């Protein structure tokens, strides 16, 4: 049985300060790294003889508009099918330079998920083989899941909110 402490200690020995902010919400080993190390960390976990973290369950974008210099992020969920061990890794980038290296070379399942994340958050995955919009229209000039727009159109006159306590 692999424990979070074993994996964390091994990662600390291998990467030092390149992996940081460890936490374990609900027992899920979670930590941060930077764009310069994310592929190296994922490849290390993939190739590790003991851990064998070889399945990318999901990746998604997040937007924290008040986190100056770290507004956009990518959250990766990995799984060792052999040991039934899960791990979450996060990377953050400034909104002015939303670039993260592609994970699709190591994990082909990242291909569609990176395209979706680009489509909704505008995070550019460097090296992706076909980074184009996948769900939204091609001529859309904004990224709809960024928290830059009001949730409702304040100019709407076609509904009466007085019945809903607003």
In the chain, where the domains are located: 4-145
Conformation bin of residue 90: beta by default, left when phi > 0, alpha when psi is -120 to 50: beta
CB count within 10 Å of CB 70 equals 15
Say yes or no to pLDDT of 165 above 80. Answer: no
Tell me: the pLDDT tens digits for 105-155?
Answer: 999 999 999 999 999 999 999 999 999 999 999 999 999 999 987 777 777
- Output the DSSP codes for 50-64: TT---EEEEEEEEE-
Superfamily of domain 4-145, CATH level 4: NADH:ubiquinone oxidoreductase Nqo5 subunit (3.30.460.80)
Claim: this prediction has a pTM higher than 0.85: yes
Tell me: the pLDDT tens digits for 64-121?
Answer: 999 999 999 999 999 999 999 999 999 999 999 999 999 999 999 999 999 999 999 9
Reported for 15-19, long-range contacts at CB under 8 A and 24+ positions apart, including other chains, are: 15/40, 15/41, 15/44
């Amino acid at each position: 049985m692999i424990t979070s402490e074993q994996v964390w200690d091994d990662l600390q020995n291998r990467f030092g300060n390149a992996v940081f902010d460890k936490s374990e919400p609900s027992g899920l080993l979670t930590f941060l790294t930077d764009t310069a190390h994310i592929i190296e960390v994922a490849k290390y976990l993939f190739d590790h003889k003991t851990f064998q973290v070889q399945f990318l369950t999901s990746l998604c974008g997040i937007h924290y508009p008040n986190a100056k210099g770290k507004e956009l992020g990518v959250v990766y969920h990995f799984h060792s099918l052999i040991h039934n061990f899960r791990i979450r890794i996060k990377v953050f980038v400034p909104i002015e330079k939303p670039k993260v290296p592609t994970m699709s070379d190591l994990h082909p399942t990242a291909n569609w998920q990176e395209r979706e994340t680009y489509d909704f958050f505008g995070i550019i995955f460097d090296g992706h083989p076909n980074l184009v919009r996948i769900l939204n229209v091609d001529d859309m000039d904004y990224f709809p899941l960024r928290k830059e727009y009001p949730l409702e159109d304040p100019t709407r006159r076609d509904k009466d909110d007085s019945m809903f306590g607003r």
